[in-house]
Amino acid sequence: MWILSIPDAVVKARWGCSGAQCFQSQPWPPVGLGAPAREFGERAVCYNTSHRRLSTQKLRHTANPLLAIQTSLDSGSLSLLDALRRRAKSRSLAIYLVGGLLRDVLLGIASEDLDLVVEGDAPALARELSEELGAGLVVHPQFGTATVTLDGSRLDLVTARKEVYLRPADLPRVSPGTIDDDLARRDFSINALALSLTEPRPAIRDPHGGIDDISRGLVRVLHRRSFADDPTRILRAVRYEQRLGFRIEDETLSLAQEAMDQGYLAAVSGDRLRHELDRILQEERPAPALRRAIELGILAGIHPALVNSEAIDRLEASGQLRNVTDDSGVDDDQADDGRGGEIPPMLFLAALVYTLSPGDGEGIIGRLNLPGAWAEVVRDTITLRVLEPELAAPGLSASRLVSLVQGFSPAALLAVSRVTISSAAGRMLENYLDELQHIAPVLKGGDLLALGVPSGPLVGKILGQLREAKLDGQVDTIDQEKRLVEELLVQLGGQPGRG
Ligand code: ATP
């Protein structure tokens, strides 16, 4: 949730959403973290950030960003943050809010990511806090990071660090540092902001001109070697550009191009690249970032076959899916992630690989070290595309259709039904997903045994034929099913067993 102090009409014009969708009230005044500097009579909170397209940004909350953050947080997060601040002060440790939260505050966008940098031992501070509050704690001592959770609220703490890159695309050598060291290691100026929680009335710390870049809508790296140090930032740049409606600043774009020309992307591990690709797939609208990454040749730098965005365009145009889980059997991992009927991320992966040859599909699975479920989506999507002429053949029976596509990943089936240019194949897949996959005979194995089918492989064989007959409309009622079982038993020569 985020606070906006702008009129409804402005929200509508700039963000393309209506006040009715956008506004929601919050309790006032907020509690914890000191008293508010001034009170608002009525405030509006916007959570709908979809289809936003910002140009030159009018920044929000520059006068008192901390107050704005306090106001936006729920009481649980606020008291967790307050307890952290008290403990840090008692230990004379400086702590800072950092990263996307501050960028989003200035843009008036909802954000709940409480990322904190500690000038000192973050895991030790987190441990003390969790003991004080009885809160959950996860520590990664090797990274100097810790997460504290309490009643659904969460703080991510990291020890301020300095990073030195010894070779392009390698992981950096890390040592403890100051907040300014920590900001200097970050990807873009718009993310290199910090706000002290331990100084009185703090201003945003902005050593790299991030606020100016936010107001100009620019994604800009902090130094010329940034993409050579970490080429995954090229994917990150596109993600922020497209999500925020920003533009990658000209020099940054040519540095990205240079890094790609030098082949630095090829030096990055599949896991790191996949992680950033996944971040794009998880965006509210992945298509613009995927398109841009293709247009800039970034995805081709990962695998030369990733050059076509037409299927992504068609998937996006296919619009929002209703009741994805119910209609298609696409499960939580592959589809609906709670975002209520949007196109699931895995469908964009399918659209990305839709035009590829099976060999290129395997190449991408290997290059990105794709986990099993992702690899299945890639393989099944490509196989289904190859099967399209068969699916589109006139007179294809329902049972033949089912035998061709059953067992395929639901995400692949759904994606291909949306992106195929063969309307006949698309209709067949929709028919399978909506209806045919749910059709089964009433009689089950036990019923067949009761009808005298001997136990053994014949049961499965007759059940299979029964299902085909049901799919093709040759049987409908239970009596018709029973009659067919008896006929099949005779035809298939089974010795009747005991009923
Ligand atoms: P948001 O999308 O809202 O910014 P995020 O979840 O994408 O958040 P993370 O990927 O969690 O951001 O990163 C948090 C912060 O860590 C970023 O704001 C950035 O400053 C820094 N960061 C993350 N990845 C990199 C990277 N590869 N190089 C430099 N800084 C990074």
pLDDT (tens place) for every residue of the chain, 499 residues total: 233 333 333 233 233 333 222 222 222 223 333 333 222 222 222 333 333 444 577 888 877 888 889 888 999 999 999 999 999 999 999 999 998 999 999 999 988 889 999 999 999 999 999 999 999 999 999 889 999 999 999 999 999 999 999 988 889 999 999 999 999 999 999 999 999 999 988 999 999 999 999 999 999 999 999 999 999 999 999 999 999 999 999 999 999 999 999 999 999 999 999 999 999 999 999 999 999 999 999 999 999 999 999 999 999 999 755 444 444 445 544 444 333 457 899 999 999 999 999 999 999 999 999 999 999 999 999 999 999 999 999 999 999 999 999 999 999 999 999 999 999 999 999 999 999 999 999 999 999 999 999 999 999 999 999 999 999 999 999 999 999 999 999 888 765 554 4
DSSP code at position 477: S
Report the alpha-carbon distance of residue 111 to residue 102 in Å, rounded. Answer: 9
Report the alpha-carbon distance of residue 281 to residue 285 in Å, rounded. Answer: 8
Question: Is the C-beta atom of 232 inside 6 A of ligand 1?
Answer: yes
Q: Strands 153-159 and 145-150, how do they pair?
A: antiparallel
Ligand 1: centre distance to CA 396 (Å): 50
Residue 247 pLDDT: 97
* Token pair recorded at residue 384: 């289904």
Single-letter residue type at 46: C
Question: Which ligand 1 atom is the nearest neighbour of the CA of 101?
Answer: 3
Question: Which ligand 1 atom is the nearest neighbour of the CA of 187?
Answer: 29
* H-only helix segments in 55-209: 65-72, 75-90, 100-107, 122-133, 179-184
Question: Is the C-beta atom of 191 inside 6 A of ligand 1?
Answer: yes
Which residue among 103, 117, 187, 240 has the greatest number of ligand 1 atoms within 8 angstroms of its CB, and so is best to mutate? 187
Which residue among 117, 171, 186 has the greatest number of ligand 1 atoms within 8 angstroms of its CB, and so is best to mutate? 186
Question: Is the C-beta atom of 172 inside 6 A of ligand 1?
Answer: no
Residue nearest to atom 27 of ligand 1 (CA): 233
* Token pair recorded at residue 220: 């800009």
Residue 57 pLDDT: 74
Question: Which secondary-structure segment (H or E) carries 312?
Answer: helix 310-317
Ligand 1: centre distance to CA 185 (Å): 11
Residue 479 pLDDT: 96
Ligand 1: centre distance to CA 115 (Å): 10
Whether the Cβ atoms of residue 333 and residue 358 lie closer than 8 Å to each other: no
Ligand 1: centre distance to CA 192 (Å): 10
Whether the Cβ atoms of residue 31 and residue 77 lie closer than 8 Å to each other: no
Single-letter residue type at 383: T
Residue nearest to atom 12 of ligand 1 (CA): 100
**What angle in degrees, to the nearest 10, is found between the helix axes of 232-244 and 250-261?**
150
Helix (H, G, I), strand (E, B) or coil at 173: strand
Residue nearest to atom 26 of ligand 1 (CA): 187
Question: Which ligand 1 atom is the nearest neighbour of the CA of 276?
Answer: 10
Residue nearest to atom 5 of ligand 1 (CA): 100
Residue 235 pLDDT: 98
Ligand 1: centre distance to CA 100 (Å): 7
Ligand 1: centre distance to CA 29 (Å): 31
How wide is the angle at C-alpha 30 spanned by C-alphas 29 and 35, nearest 5°?
Answer: 85
Question: Is the C-beta atom of 99 inside 6 A of ligand 1?
Answer: yes
In total, the chain counts a number of residues equal to 499
DSSP code at position 172: P
Residue 12 pLDDT: 31
Strands (E), 152-196: 153-159, 161-164, 173-176, 194-196
Cis, bond preceding 389 (omega within 30 deg of 0) = no
Residue 15 pLDDT: 31
- This prediction's pTM: 0.84
Helix (H, G, I), strand (E, B) or coil at 423: helix
Half-sphere exposure of 257 (CA within 13 A, CB side): 9
Residue nearest to atom 8 of ligand 1 (CA): 100
What residue spans define the domains of the chain? 59-216, 303-438, 445-491
Instruction: CATH number for 59-216: choose from 3.40.630.10, 3.30.70.3400, 3.40.50.1820, 3.30.460.10.
Output: 3.30.460.10
Single-letter residue type at 57: Q
Question: Which ligand 1 atom is the nearest neighbour of the CA of 233?
Answer: 27
* Token pair recorded at residue 332: 């939580």
Residue 63 pLDDT: 77
Q: How many CB atoms lie within 10 A of CB 138?
A: 13
Q: How many CB atoms lie within 10 A of CB 226?
A: 23
Residue 41 pLDDT: 26
Question: Is the C-beta atom of 187 inside 6 A of ligand 1?
Answer: yes
* Token pair recorded at residue 185: 């290691």
Please name every residue paired with 157 in a beta bridge, in sequence order, or none if there are none.
116, 146
Question: Is the C-beta atom of 230 inside 6 A of ligand 1?
Answer: yes
Report the alpha-carbon distance of residue 400 to residue 391 in Å, rounded. Answer: 9
Question: Is the C-beta atom of 100 inside 6 A of ligand 1?
Answer: yes
